[in-house]
Amino acid sequence: MVKVSYRLVLFIFASVLGVAVMPSLAFAVAGPDIGGVLDNLSGSLRNFPNILTTISFVSGIFLAVSGVLKLKNHVDNPSQIPISDGIKRLIAGGLFIGLPLATNIAKGSIFGTSVSEVQGNAAGWNVVVPAIPPVGLDQLAVTFISSFAEPMKDLMITFSYLSGLAFILIGISRLIKTAQEGPRGPTGMGTLITFLTGAALMSLGQSMGSFTSSLFGNNTMRNFVDLSAPVQAALSAAEEKQLENVIGSVMMFVSIVGFVAFVRGMYVLKAVADGNQQHSLTQAFTFLLGGALAVNLGDVINMIQSTIGATALGFSFS
């Protein structure tokens, strides 16, 4: 009997499959660009809250039943089983079962509005970078940024919403713990900040808008390029348009980095509240403030130029 190696079988199978598929590759349609991939990923993640809601509902039923049993055990043996064990489980179970209500309460405590789905205004993310043929490196950069900027924004809003929802679930689960847990206990600062951070992440645009309004008096980014008259006079119409497109793409890229830093700041803030010694409040506020400044780089440049009395380059809402 001839012994055949499984590697040889796999090689023959792959070769036959390659010959069969090869003719169709010449006529294959090009796949999606980076923006298309990010859109697909964002669309897939938008269904994830339904999974978390289902898990929360099942956990809520379990905790509610456990709470009733704890109350019964307290009646049977009040010296050993405190009544608070049953009450905490009933409260946590009710919040798990009514997760949308819990998220609305958490968000309403900060912004006064409710959240029913993945949503959020990206704090005036209004830079529109037109796609132009990639001839030079500058045009190539503009085309690259314009292809994934908006999908990246949507993906970050969706990811932030899911992170916030997960934080709300973590906060609810901590309600059944004991005071010995410290910051992570039911009345600990870590638990409170977990709820607040979750609400802020679920409304990333409003959270960023609050920082923007506090710094610059508005919640809309000034990222549209306004060249001064001397600069316009030194350039042709084509050069002026090219410069505006390149600057706009750079502003959008910096804004994306700013939003990532802002979200990172919220994570660090929660870690500090939980007692993590590797992070500090200074680090958290540095991320939050730096992210807000990066997102509003146009306002920052306008402010610096106003301070030194130079107006070579300005930025406006539109």
pLDDT confidence bin for 4, thresholds 50/70/90: very low
In a domain, 268, yes or no: yes
Domain that holds residue 170: 120-318
In a domain, 165, yes or no: yes
In a domain, 114, yes or no: no
Q: How far apart are CA 191 and CA 170, in angstroms?
A: 8
In a domain, 18, yes or no: no
Please answer whether residues 193 and 153 qualify as being in contact, where contact means their C-beta atoms are separated by less than 8 angstroms.
Answer: no
In a domain, 259, yes or no: yes
What pLDDT is stored for residue 266 in this prediction? 92
Most confident region among 90-94, 96-100, 121-125, 222-226 by mean pLDDT: 90-94
In a domain, 98, yes or no: no
How many CA atoms are closer than 13 Å to the CA of 287, on its beta-carbon side?
17
What pLDDT is stored for residue 95 in this prediction? 83
Q: What is the mean pLDDT of the chain?
A: 74
- Residues of the chain with pLDDT > 90, as a percent, come to 8
In a domain, 313, yes or no: yes
| Residue of higher predicted confidence among 181 and 226 | 181
- 202-252 residue pLDDT tens: 888 778 877 777 777 776 666 667 776 777 777 777 777 777 777 777 888
Q: Mark residue 120 as left, alpha or beta (left: phi above 0; alpha: psi -120 to 50; beta: remaining).
A: left
| Residue of higher predicted confidence among 1 and 311 | 311
What pLDDT is stored for residue 22 in this prediction? 45
What pLDDT is stored for residue 112 in this prediction? 61
For residue 227, the tally of other CB atoms under 10 A from its CB is 17
| Total count of domains within the chain | 1
Look at 19-28, 75-84, 225-234, 244-253 and tell me which has the smallest mean pLDDT: 19-28
The residue whose two tokens read 């039923």 is 61
In a domain, 287, yes or no: yes
pLDDT at 267 over 90: yes
- 130-159 residue pLDDT tens: 444 545 566 666 777 777 777 787 888 888
Please answer whether residues 122 and 157 qualify as being in contact, where contact means their C-beta atoms are separated by less than 8 angstroms.
Answer: yes
